[in-house]
Structure 1
Amino acid sequence: MANSAPPRIFSRSRRIAALRRARVRQSQRDAARYVFDDMVEDVLERLEFMRFEPKRALVVGDITSTLALSLRGRGAHVDERDVASLDEELPIGGSPYDLIVSLASLDRVNDLPGALLHIRTALAPDGLFIASLIGAGSLAHLRAAMIAAQPERPEPRMHPLVDNAAASALLQRALFKRQVVDSRSLTVAFPSMDKLVSDLRDQGLGNVLAQPASALGKDELQRAREAFRKGANKHGRVLEALEVLTLTGWKD
């Protein structure tokens, strides 16, 4: 009998370790958190536009806890979870919720179709699901730098990412209604590749592949840094874009 289990691309233990390191880094005043700031602001604007006032919400993955704080300020009872306390590939306890929000989390699960089904099951009738994740097309300069580091046989160092069409199909497969997928570009200027990598680690967005590549050697790292700098503008900054996908769906 053929094995129907999804391929193991990501490591849950490495995700938990990255989250714990990010929590420590977030305690520093200068820690990067702009990805989550953008996602939280977007979610709140959508709820305001839809005039949706949740009474019971589940927030997954927000390392800043600002979304839960804002929702509580609106009178909602909020359950906060992270990868250490919630496995998206298993049924979600504590349901039903009339709002489930996932931030920068679902792009790193092995069984994304299964995770979406569990989320839909955990919603109350007429419940709303919103997910923000890093989508395909992100970090083009960093990807080019990793290839330049090992031009003959580059090892996998960056995550496969979901695009708009795949996200729409996944929402339909999970039986969400009135589903919408849109994207926006978050562009950030970096003086170096090292600063970009540091910012990603601050936000728990580093590599959590199940089979991580070996560390770059000194010469390989130098090639990567030089390749990254080639994309710099006249001010010496590399404008790196992160494509943020937002998935919205309802349970009828």
Structure 2
Amino acid sequence: MTTTDRMTVFDRALVRRHRERAVPNFANHSFLFDEIAERLADRLEDVLRPFPLALDVGCHDGAMGRALAGRKGIERLIACDLAPGFARAAQGVAADEEFLPFAPHSFDLVVSNLSLHWVNDLPGALLQIRQCLKPDGFFCGAMLGGNTLIELRQCLYEAELEIAGGVSPRVSPFAEIRDAGGLLQRAGFALPVVDSDTLTVTYSDAFALMRELRGMAETNAVLARRKVPATRAMLFDAARRYAEQHAEPDGRIPVTFDVLYLAGWSPHESQQQPLKPGSGAIPLGQALNSNTPES
């Protein structure tokens, strides 16, 4: 990776402050992390091998560790998080996802639960995760994808355009599923797999959603954001638009969380390999046209 590969989108110091602020009351807002931790743990049940030593990257309050307790032959799980407060809560260590302080080939398994969407250098972070794995070690992670908070983004955009005459990033950008597989391959993972899931949650109004996002430490940390808070007029206008455009019959508003699941293996000679060109047993012409007569 060269220096030109790196994009600086997020204010990582602000991400850390948001997480530290969320630590005391995180349990009241952690439903999404708890749910996705269980889904990741269930996916690991399909992998028929034990993982004695595991690493949880971006652990928050330790939801992933709780979901994996007593499962998959894990004898020890090391948790790490950008925020020291979360690291302490999970009985782990403070560590930046972009600068993992672990020796190469240390872990049988690396998991990451809804943390990597805040990383500036995602290819570099995935490369470091792959390097942390032993040969034939496994990575399984989840991150928020492109349609997350799409309703809120639309309403904030329209309200700011109407009131301020221009727009700025009010919600952080998210990765697209079409890019995720390529990022895993670029990081050197073998047999990469990416899929997605959509969770829809309802809230009483847009302000309840905004309070939830603050409690989840998922508020805006884009470097290009306006440094002054949104005005009350803009927020009330966005809330009005949200209710008018998206409210359900009972008056509650739906919120989309688009979750990408990423999985891949650290390369090992025992893994399946693609066939070499020309090694197929059936001629290409015959495969493309089953009516072609045999010679």
Shorter-normalised TM-score: what interval?
Answer: over 0.9
Aligned to 2:76: 77
Q: Write the mapping of 1:86-235 to structure 2, written as runs, cut at 5 A.
A: 86-95=95-104, 96-151=106-161, 152-213=165-226, 214-230=228-244, 231-235=246-250
Give the match's secondary structure for 1:126. Answer: strand
Inter-CA distance 5–173: structure 2 relative to 1 (3 Å threshold): closer
Deviation at 1:51, TM superposition (A): 2.9
Q: Write the mapping of 1:9-88 to structure 2, written as runs, cut at 5 A.
A: 9-27=9-27, 31-74=28-71, 75-84=74-83, 85-88=94-97
Contact 1:188 1:239 in 2 (8 A): yes
Q: Which runs of 5+ in 1 are unaligned?
A: none
Inter-CA distance 175–16: structure 2 relative to 1 (3 Å threshold): same
Give the match's secondary structure for 2:217. Answer: coil
1:42-70 CA distances to partner (integer Å, 9 max, x unpaired)? Answer: 11101112234210011122323132134
Deviation at 1:126, TM superposition (A): 0.9
**Partners of 1:44 and 1:56 in 2: how far apart?**
15
**Partners of 1:61 and 1:32 in 2: how far apart?**
17
Counting aligned pairs with the same residue, the percent is 32
Contact 1:72 1:78 in 2 (8 A): no
**Partners of 2:100 and 2:250 in 1: how far apart?**
50
Inter-CA distance 52–239: structure 2 relative to 1 (3 Å threshold): farther
**Partners of 2:60 and 2:210 in 1: how far apart?**
18
Max radius of gyration: which structure? 2
Deviation at 1:112, TM superposition (A): 0.8
Taking only aligned residues, the RMSD between alpha carbons, in angstroms, comes to: 1.7
1:56-115 CA distances to partner (integer Å, 9 max, x unpaired)? Answer: 011122323132134343342010100132222224315511111111111111111111
Read off the aligned partner of 2:128 and give its amino acid letter.
H
Deviation at 1:210, TM superposition (A): 2.2
Deviation at 1:203, TM superposition (A): 1.7
Deviation at 1:41, TM superposition (A): 0.8
Contact 2:38 2:67 in 1 (8 A): no
Deviation at 1:225, TM superposition (A): 1.1
1:122-164 CA distances to partner (integer Å, 9 max, x unpaired)? Answer: 0011111111011001111101121122113111111111111
**Partners of 2:157 and 2:67 in 1: how far apart?**
41
Q: Which structure would you say has the larger RCO, counting Cα contacts within 8 Å and 6 or more residues apart?
A: 1
**Partners of 1:201 and 1:129 in 2: how far apart?**
29
Q: Which runs of 5+ in 2 are unaligned?
A: 84-93, 268-295
Q: After superposing the two structures, state which structure 1 stretch, 47-56 or 77-86, moved more.
A: 47-56
Count of paired positions: 248
